[in-house]
Amino acid sequence: DAGVIQSPRHEVTEMGQEVTLRCKPISGHDYLFWYRQTMMRGLELLIYFNNNVPIDDSGMPEDRFSAKMPNASFSTLKIQPSEPRDSAVYFCASSGQLSNEKLFFGSGTQLSVL
Amino acid sequence: ILNVEQSPQSLHVQEGDSTNFTCSFPSSNFYALHWYRWETAKSPEALFVMTLNGDEKKKGRISATLNTKEGYSYLYIKGSQPEDSATYLCAYWMDSSYKLIFGSGTRLLVRP
- Chain segment A78-107, per-residue pLDDT in tens: 999 999 999 999 999 999 876 678 999 999
**Cβ-Cβ contacts under 8 Å for B73 (sequence gap 6 or more):** B22, B23, B25, B33, B35, B50, B64, B65, B66, B67, B90
CA-based radius of gyration for chain A: 13
Question: Which residues of A are less than 8 Å from B3 in CB distance?
Answer: none
| Predicted confidence (pLDDT) at residue B90 exceeds the cutoff of 70 | yes
Is B32 part of the contact surface with chain A (CB cutoff 8 Å)?
yes
Percent share of chain A, pLDDT over 70: 96
**Cα four-point dihedral sign B76, B74, B105, B29:** positive
Contact between chains at A91 and B43 (C-beta distance less than 8 A): yes
Give the nearest partner residue to B43 out of A45, A56, A108, using CB atoms. Answer: A108
> What kind and span of H or E run contains B89?
strand B86-94
pLDDT single digits (tens) B15-45: 999 999 999 998 888 889 999 999 988 899 9
The residues with which B110 forms a beta bridge, in sequence order, are: B13
Contact A94, A5 (CB under 8 A): no
In this prediction, residues B91-100 reach a mean pLDDT of 77
Give the nearest partner residue to A31 out of B36, B51, B98, using CB atoms. Answer: B98
How far apart CA B48 and CA B63 sit, in angstroms, is: 9
